[in-house]
Structure 1
Amino acid sequence: MLGVLLHQQEDDLGALDLLKTAIRINPANPVGYLDIGNVFKSLRNLEMALASYDAAIALRPDYAAAFNNRGNTLLDMRRIEDAIDSYARAIAISPGFLEPRNGLARAWKDLGNLDLALSEYDHIIEIRPDLAQAHYDRANTLQSLGRNDEAITAYDRAISIQPALAEAYNNRGNAFLTLGRIDAAIASYDRAIEYKPDYAEAYNNRGSALLRAGRVTEAIATFQQAIRYRPELADLHVNHGNALHAARRFDDAVAAFDQAIALNPDSAISYAGHGNALIALQQWDAAIISFDYALAIDPGFAEVHAARGNAFMAQKKLDDAISCFRTAIEHKPDFAQAHNNLGNALLERKELDAALASYDHAIALRPDIAEAHANRGNVLLKRKRLQEAVAAYDEAIARKADFAEAYNNRGLAQLERGNIDGAITSYDQALAIRPGYTEVQINRGNAMLECLRLDEAIASYDLAASTPSQYFEEANYNKALVLLLQGNYQDGLPLFEWRWKNKMYSPRVLRFTQPIWFGGEPLQGKAIYLHNEQGLGDLIQFSRYIKLVKGLGATVYLETPPPLLGLLKDLDGVDRFVAAGDPVPDFDFQCSVLTLPLAFGTTVDKVPPPTKLQIDPCTKERWASRLGPSTRKRIGLVWSGSTAHTNDRNRSIPLSQLLPYLPQDHDYICLQKELRDADKDTLQQSAKQIAFFGDEIADFGDTAALCDLMDIIVSVDTSVAHLAATLGKPTWILLPYRPDWRWLLHTADSIWYPTVQLYRQGPERAWPSILSEIHDDLSSLQWTTCQKALGITPYPTFRGNAP
């Protein structure tokens, strides 16, 4: 008896001596062997404990307690099948004995057979319905089975029997949290803490629930309480770090993860959190080191491979990023986010088809990832599959109603499709979610510009420029385009210089260190390098200023694209032509030809006349011979420009749309060097003869000669239109509803070219109405020709233009 008392007082060695003595005195006493087995088990000498219980059973084969304790020992030894057998023997001897049933339930759990474990708890409750622990254990088993609603009912039953059972409140909170009932979970954790104020695990779980609820500040405080009671638990510091990360307190998060690592250097999850916080601090290399430590501990940690890929992505190390994402997918093929991130890297590398496949894979795995749908839309937008892009953004928004980026990008796709009202609505929705979204303000301004709601466009650009951001320069540049379109050159031309901060243009000027000439510095005795920056038409249009520059006493060098060299070789005012890409001579100032209107104080009432271009007589004679004689009007046609032009979708016309509006009895000559595939097919199948010379047109010298042989040039807004107008040929230019700034608004003529007539789309943004005007005006040419042949003076005609 004394030995048992010592064992109860945790003096196991003293108890062992006394119990051995008792057995020597009475070796036939099974209780003595049971007691000494219990002491051996407490001392973790499981083999001796098992031998002692076997001795007790040998003396008393119906000794249920010995079988039960033997089962407990076998369970500790992980001999689970033997433990089950021992528990079953105890139950067979004493069916009302609850301990072996409880042990048997634990054994079934260890084997992963939760249903049989649940059955044992049901037996226990049937015998003792008022046993709170049995209801609690049953609830835990139900929760493990994913039957959370039933588990909550079982926890409630345990609590009704034993109201102070803090663990039941805690685990019930976990069940509520799994079901997404966050408020109920927090309330349950609060009750657990009420009954057990130092319950660190309950504080930890409460913090997790608060974090899920977005109550980040409260979550941080709760994790700090958990740490106060169990500072040695590394996982608490990890969760604290995650909450600090969510609060964007990234330096504090790093410190929290450092603490977790100090407590448990073998925790891959601690290094993972550490790396993620360092990514937030943009310390990419340090983050990768943390991820490498995590992977040294757990090489198959897919999330860490993906996070490591994110760090490489941020550094534009795309090959390394792609390798990381693919490794993450190898370890976890159903890792939807890794497929999405792989798509991002492939998109960045312009592998659009592969990127689209990655996004599709991510969506197939997890249709609820809004970002994957939005990213898929981005690829489709780049592919000009605009209707599909809009649908993809709709899918993203359906899954994330506050997804401002998806609304913005949907607006871009809608605008490119011509759905301007839809685009404006999308931009407004994005701004309602994020009022300071500068990029959207600019895009909204662009949409307003497209529909000529110019005051609203300016208001959007002003809002974008009111806050310092990477879009400040773009906002000012876009505002300049509106002002110039309105004819406000005084305010528009200075703002137009912001284009040099635009990544599309800046490399073309930043390659020089010499100062830009804005018209203020004297040029007498100085050398100035003039260069083009955008299309060939710009150089032709603004070449009119070169003679003025020369008149200020400068030596003028003109950088000239090869297609224009032959045409411009006799241009008045140029001392030396420099072919693009050739060595540049020394100079004092540089200036783009598009800056010259600002330098010379150009206004709509003060525009220099076009320069005089010299056409090579031999070239003109060769083309005249190539065209042959004709008694009919020759009409030069240009219906499309470069597909690379940012507004090509609005300015170019399919040949199939133009053909029906070309009256007979004229000779039509295509002045384009290149045709799109669809136009080639149309031209071959057309009954109307349009002469096309293709590669016979070597450069703009050939184009100029052809233009000079035409009676009228009908052109969309391309460099050929500028060439024809500069040559003084009657040039009819077809303009989209929102024209380029140089054509102003509401006029049928041009301040830049006296021989130009402008045909403007109306608000319907369609070509048929102005193509009908072209048809009528070309037809009137036929009538005028007949009148002249008969000596009849025609009545004057007047034509209007849609505003």
Structure 2
Amino acid sequence: MAQDSHDERVAPGAQTILHPSCTTRPVGDLDISDIVASADAEFGVRRLEKAVELYQIVLRNCPDHSHALHRLALAAVHGNRFDEAQTYIESALRVAPDNAELWEHAGLIAASRGAYGRAEICYQRAIRIAGGTVTLHRNLGDCLLLSGRSLEAREQYLRVIALEPQLHHANRALAQICEQFGDNVGSANYWDHAWKLNPADPLDGISLITALAKVGRSKRLEEVVDEMKRRFADNVPALERLAFVLYKHYLHTEALDVIRHGLIVAPRSAPLHHYAALTLGVCGRAEESLSHSMEAVRLWPENLEMQYHLAGLELARGEFKEGWKRHKAIYALPNPELVIPLGIQEWNGEPLEGCEILLVGEQGDGDKIQCIRFAEWLSAQGARIDLLVTGRLAGIFASMKCIRAVYSSTAPAGQYDYWTYLMKIPEYMGLEVSMLPAVTIPYLFPTPEKVHHWRSRLDSMSTPPGNVKGLRIGVAWAGRARYIWDRFRSIQLDLFKPLFSSPETSWYSVQKGPRETESEALANEFDIHTLGPLIDDFMDTLAILETLDLLITVDTSVAHLAGAAGRPVWVLVPAYAQWRWLGDRTDTPWYPSMRVFRQRELDHWEPVIEEVRQALLEIRYEGNS
């Protein structure tokens, strides 16, 4: 319940309703009314122990004294004795069933005990007796909200606002309800009003910034950020939260500004160093990110998220020994998608000669395709290998001779000596950059039947049918939208138009997912064919790649698929580039057939597309020379 509700329930001056026989009955030299007056005086100055003693005297002489029962209930609430308070307030209601204040306070007591159904009944009874008041509608709204009935609570808070528009609590509650139901505009409006009424709580400011970011009110957002920096200039926890929410909403310039100020105030703040590392990393400023990440880990070595971020930076620098060891922090972080086989010992680098081991796929499809190569190394150590992986990858992984069986739902009942995640293997094999690709390329193969099927199909699509002159290039422009950084790696298809204009080139979209049909709109303008709806699984995609001269793609699983198959592939990576693409280089030792085109400034893809266009012209020139 709201704090101001608690204050209201102990307000002095409650209506006194007495049983007729209690009004003048003497107690020694005093009348009941004199003792009540003394008790009320003690209660008013919060000397509750003395007040309770006097009210008890009243009850011994007049058991139906509703005012004494009421005050004893409130005193019990102050002592957190809610069962006792419930007993007193129910007794008072039996004496004075038409007292709206008693019903309201009965509701507050019931709600404090978690009895929200009883509390609702009490508040509704009080409203029927006294009509709607600010406190009654507010408290009923709180009760409904705590009961999970947010829309009904919303109606009560709207009634509060109609009676008292400046009530901070109601505006704040309405903001949270709008946020819950996806009403971003309503949430932003109510948070803004609540913040203007009482800008003392930094968490309210954080909520307002989040709401403003969702509706794109950048000018107001900047004003609130500036106000928070001024108001909480020396409040390190508030600055840490502010930096994080700005980073989370991709407001990198603003986040770095807050971080710089915060580090002046608190140079040993591990969270600020961590958020600096995250923000700088996303912006492609790897060296600056590294220094902050190292400092964050030094200050807070137990923090697993900080350890994991530093691991990525170390791997990107080719510092594999330190990076793979630190990378294990990810397995201690909450992740409901991680499969943990039960009843099998986890492998920690023990000798594998003659052992049976179950490999478990993890993280994204691209990660699995990249790291399944390590099964070859395990096989060379004498292990017999089974694999547990998502169904869409099962077919292509079954093409690897070193894997005995692939399971896509649950592990078989057979006995294994060990199990391990794919991405734990590099640490124990002592993987170094010089050992890459650490497997013979290709290590994934399409079936001949699939290749024949798709070659014939693509031949029939060419113009005229059967024409195989010119280049056949595959294209994919988007990754899976649920990936946290997808907004930076995926590209709007229209930006590819300068490439689609290349002469004597046919384009084949292997894009899958919600955006797979976008290329259909360009079919009348360019020689582009949409294959996505026809592709059933990765084996289809693998066979299609076998028939193409080149694949041009963003950083998603199909890039790994082409690289693992040894097919020519150009991958466009954003400025924040993941660890797997290493440093500022145009090739990658993971996939010898791959060329990397790097974004220099976050969200600026046009220069990258132009670089790719020039590279295509060079291919055309070399082919004609």
Fold equivalence (TM over 0.5): yes
Judging changes above 3 Å, is the alpha-carbon distance between structure 1 residues 360 and 523 closer, same or farther for their aligned structure 2 residues? same
* Contact kept in structure 2, 1:368 and 1:399, CA below 8 Å: no
Judging changes above 3 Å, is the alpha-carbon distance between structure 1 residues 390 and 582 closer, same or farther for their aligned structure 2 residues? farther
Q: Which residue of 1 aligns with 2:408?
A: 579
Please give the per-residue CA displacement for 1:370-419, whole angstroms capped at 9, x wherever unaligned.
Answer: 455532432454x4848478458438638944576775566456546765
Shift, 1:769, TM fit: 2.1
**Does residue 446 of structure 1 match 2:278?**
yes
Task: Tell me how far apart the structure 1 counterparts of residues 617 and 473 of structure 2 sit (CA, whole Å).
Answer: 12
* Contact kept in structure 2, 1:386 and 1:416, CA below 8 Å: no
Q: Which residue of 1 aligns with 2:445?
A: 614
Which of 70, 74, 80 pairs up with 1:266?
A: 70
Which of 113, 138, 143 pairs up with 1:289?
A: 113
**Does residue 701 of structure 1 match 2:560?**
no
Residue identity matched to 2:367: D
Judging changes above 3 Å, is the alpha-carbon distance between structure 1 residues 481 and 552 closer, same or farther for their aligned structure 2 residues? same
Q: Which residue of 1 aligns with 2:148?
A: 319
Q: Secondary structure at the match of 2:359?
A: strand
Judging changes above 3 Å, is the alpha-carbon distance between structure 1 residues 452 and 274 closer, same or farther for their aligned structure 2 residues? farther
Residue identity matched to 1:617: P
Q: Which residue of 2 aligns with 1:559?
A: 388
* Contact kept in structure 2, 1:275 and 1:286, CA below 8 Å: no
Residue identity matched to 2:113: I
Task: Tell me how far apart the structure 2 counterparts of residues 486 and 727 of structure 1 sit (CA, whole Å).
Answer: 26
Which of 652, 661, 673 pairs up with 2:512?
A: 673
Which of 414, 417, 430 pairs up with 1:601?
A: 430
Task: Tell me how far apart the structure 2 counterparts of residues 722 and 594 of structure 1 sit (CA, whole Å).
Answer: 15
**Does residue 369 of structure 1 match 2:160?**
no
RMSD across aligned positions (CA): 4.3
Which of 319, 322, 326 pairs up with 1:488?
A: 319
Task: Tell me how far apart the structure 2 counterparts of residues 674 and 356 of structure 1 sit (CA, whole Å).
Answer: 29
Task: Tell me how far apart the structure 2 counterparts of residues 376 and 260 of structure 1 sit (CA, whole Å).
Answer: 45
Residue identity matched to 2:584: H
Residue identity matched to 1:289: R
Please give the per-residue CA displacement for 1:778-803, whole angstroms capped at 9, x wherever unaligned.
Answer: 1122222222xxxxxxxxxxxxxxxx
Judging changes above 3 Å, is the alpha-carbon distance between structure 1 residues 462 and 535 closer, same or farther for their aligned structure 2 residues? same
Judging changes above 3 Å, is the alpha-carbon distance between structure 1 residues 601 and 274 closer, same or farther for their aligned structure 2 residues? farther
* Contact kept in structure 1, 2:263 and 2:269, CA below 8 Å: yes
* Contact kept in structure 2, 1:386 and 1:417, CA below 8 Å: no
Which of 762, 776, 786 pairs up with 2:600?
A: 762
**Does residue 425 of structure 1 match 2:425?**
no
Task: Tell me how far apart the structure 1 counterparts of residues 481 and 336 of structure 2 sit (CA, whole Å).
Answer: 22
Higher deviation after alignment, 292-301 or 389-398:
292-301
Which of 348, 359, 365 pairs up with 1:518?
A: 348
Judging changes above 3 Å, is the alpha-carbon distance between structure 1 residues 719 and 326 closer, same or farther for their aligned structure 2 residues? same
Task: Tell me how far apart the structure 2 counterparts of residues 527 and 363 of structure 1 sit (CA, whole Å).
Answer: 61
Task: Tell me how far apart the structure 2 counterparts of residues 380 and 307 of structure 1 sit (CA, whole Å).
Answer: 28
Please give the per-residue CA displacement for 1:720-759, whole angstroms capped at 9, x wherever unaligned.
Answer: 1111111111211111122110111121111111111111
Q: Comparing both chains, which one has the higher relative contact order based on Cα–Cα distances under 8 Å and sequence gaps of 6 or more?
A: 2
Residue identity matched to 1:351: F
Task: Tell me how far apart the structure 2 counterparts of residues 764 and 411 of structure 1 sit (CA, whole Å).
Answer: 19
* The structure with more radius of gyration: 1
Matches within 5 A, 1:377-776: 377-379=209-211, 381=213, 383=214, 385=216, 387=218, 390-391=221-222, 393-394=224-225, 397=228, 400-402=231-233, 411=243, 415=247, 420-430=252-262, 438-465=270-297, 472-503=303-334, 505=335, 507-510=337-340, 512=342, 514-519=344-349, 521-580=350-409, 585-607=414-436, 608-609=438-439, 610=441, 612-628=443-459, 629=466, 630-662=468-500, 663-674=502-513, 676=515, 679-680=518-519, 683=522, 687-763=525-601, 766-776=604-614
Task: Tell me how far apart the structure 1 counterparts of residues 215 and 316 of structure 2 sit (CA, whole Å).
Answer: 28
Please give the per-residue CA displacement for 1:131-159, whole angstroms capped at 9, x wherever unaligned.
Answer: xxxxxxxxxxxxxxxxxxxxxxxxxxxxx
Shift, 1:632, TM fit: 0.8
Task: Tell me how far apart the structure 1 counterparts of residues 210 and 284 of structure 2 sit (CA, whole Å).
Answer: 27
**Does residue 783 of structure 1 match 2:613?**
no
Which of 234, 237, 240 pairs up with 2:43?
A: 234
Task: Tell me how far apart the structure 2 counterparts of residues 627 and 337 of structure 1 sit (CA, whole Å).
Answer: 64
Task: Tell me how far apart the structure 2 counterparts of residues 529 and 399 of structure 1 sit (CA, whole Å).
Answer: 56
Residue identity matched to 1:758: V
Higher deviation after alignment, 759-768 or 557-566:
759-768
Residue identity matched to 1:234: F
Residue identity matched to 2:431: T
Q: Secondary structure at the match of 1:352?
A: coil
Matches within 5 A, 1:181-330: 233-237=42-46, 266=70, 288-289=112-113, 319=148
* Contact kept in structure 1, 2:247 and 2:275, CA below 8 Å: no
Shift, 1:557, TM fit: 2.0
Which of 176, 180, 198 pairs up with 1:344?
A: 176
Please give the per-residue CA displacement for 1:175-210, whole angstroms capped at 9, x wherever unaligned.
Answer: xxxxxxxxxxxxxxxxxxxxxxxxxxxxxxxxxxxx
Task: Tell me how far apart the structure 2 counterparts of residues 714 and 759 of structure 1 sit (CA, whole Å).
Answer: 10
Shift, 1:529, TM fit: 2.1
Give aligned-pair identity as a percent.
21
Task: Tell me how far apart the structure 2 counterparts of residues 595 and 422 of structure 1 sit (CA, whole Å).
Answer: 37
Task: Tell me how far apart the structure 2 counterparts of residues 276 and 405 of structure 1 sit (CA, whole Å).
Answer: 35
Task: Tell me how far apart the structure 1 counterparts of residues 362 and 261 of structure 2 sit (CA, whole Å).
Answer: 36
Task: Tell me how far apart the structure 1 counterparts of residues 364 and 280 of structure 2 sit (CA, whole Å).
Answer: 25
* Contact kept in structure 2, 1:310 and 1:321, CA below 8 Å: no
Identify the structure with the greater helix proportion. Answer: 1
* Contact kept in structure 2, 1:288 and 1:311, CA below 8 Å: no
Judging changes above 3 Å, is the alpha-carbon distance between structure 1 residues 708 and 266 closer, same or farther for their aligned structure 2 residues? same
Judging changes above 3 Å, is the alpha-carbon distance between structure 1 residues 330 and 755 closer, same or farther for their aligned structure 2 residues? same
Shift, 1:492, TM fit: 0.8
Higher deviation after alignment, 637-646 or 700-709:
637-646
Please give the per-residue CA displacement for 1:671-696, whole angstroms capped at 9, x wherever unaligned.
Answer: 21235389457535x61121111221
* Contact kept in structure 1, 2:442 and 2:564, CA below 8 Å: yes
Shift, 1:647, TM fit: 1.6
Judging changes above 3 Å, is the alpha-carbon distance between structure 1 residues 330 and 311 closer, same or farther for their aligned structure 2 residues? closer
Please give the per-residue CA displacement for 1:53-87, whole angstroms capped at 9, x wherever unaligned.
Answer: xxxxxxxxxxxxxxxxxxxxxxxxxxxxxxxxxxx
Residue identity matched to 2:529: A
TM-score (norm 2): 0.72
Q: Secondary structure at the match of 1:492?
A: helix
Task: Tell me how far apart the structure 2 counterparts of residues 433 and 287 of structure 1 sit (CA, whole Å).
Answer: 43
* Contact kept in structure 2, 1:322 and 1:342, CA below 8 Å: no
* Contact kept in structure 2, 1:651 and 1:717, CA below 8 Å: yes
Higher deviation after alignment, 707-716 or 445-454:
445-454
Q: Secondary structure at the match of 1:367?
A: helix
Residue identity matched to 1:447: T
Task: Tell me how far apart the structure 1 counterparts of residues 81 and 231 of structure 2 sit (CA, whole Å).
Answer: 24
* Contact kept in structure 2, 1:309 and 1:322, CA below 8 Å: no
Shift, 1:540, TM fit: 1.2
Q: Which residue of 2 aligns with 1:796?
A: none
Task: Tell me how far apart the structure 1 counterparts of residues 46 and 266 of structure 2 sit (CA, whole Å).
Answer: 33
- Structure 1, unaligned stretches of length 5 or more? 1-43, 46-229, 239-256, 278-284, 788-803
Shift, 1:646, TM fit: 1.8
Judging changes above 3 Å, is the alpha-carbon distance between structure 1 residues 597 and 441 closer, same or farther for their aligned structure 2 residues? same
Shift, 1:516, TM fit: 3.0
